[in-house]
Amino acid sequence: MLSQHNLHNGFHRIRFGAHTDQGVHGACPLEMLHAILLGHFPLMRDIFFYQCGPTSVSAKRLNTFASEFGRLLSCQSDRDMPKTRFSGGIRRGKLMAKEHTWIILVLLITIKSPRGQEIMKHRNIHFQNPQIIVNWIMLLETCLQWIERLQSAKMPLEDMNVAPRNSKTSCI
């Protein structure tokens, strides 16, 4: 056919990282909106409440407690402050992508609070192990750090100096 031409892709043989052999087809970076805000964050919230017991009294109490924290954190007169007050609590409701970050923040505050931990441990075998609560706290804190890093315009030089350097993970 005259309308189709076989073009050689100049990036075809370049290896974009040690994690993949897919060349240019595997070089697609993680994207914040769909992968993190609409993917990971709602899934983490859902998994947390699944581990609480989706219909359990503990899950309902944690949602109510989180709603109270969200109300206390909200500041309606300052439009630059994040939305932390959600009408249906943090468990459900149609949310904009950026609001999932603040759901994670409210959930983290709830889990870190002594009353939140008491609710989690009460009649829930899964959270009797304190390491599970520590793991959830670390996961949620890491997620908030991701968002902070992805939204920052510049990376501090100190962060670059402590980043591991390995010749096996070079781009080319």
Q: Are 108 and 137 in contact (CB under 8 A)?
A: yes
Does 139 have pLDDT greater than 70?
A: yes
Report the phi/psi class of residue 140: left, alpha or beta, with left for phi > 0 and alpha for psi in -120 to 50: alpha
Does 166 have pLDDT greater than 60?
A: no
The CA distances from residue 62 to 45, 46, 56, 59, 150, in Å, are: 12, 13, 10, 5, 29
DSSP per-residue string spanning 8-19: --TTTT----TT
Tokens describing residue 87 = 């009408």
Does 5 have pLDDT greater than 50?
A: yes
Does 112 have pLDDT greater than 70?
A: yes
User: Could you tell me which residue, 81 or 91, shows the higher pLDDT?
Assistant: 91
pTM of the full structure = 0.71
Which pLDDT score, from 0 to 100, does residue 53 have? 86
Q: How many Å separate Cα 47 from the centre of its chain?
A: 12
Which pLDDT score, from 0 to 100, does residue 159 have? 72
pLDDT digits (tens, 9 = 90+) for 113-133: 999 999 888 867 788 888 999
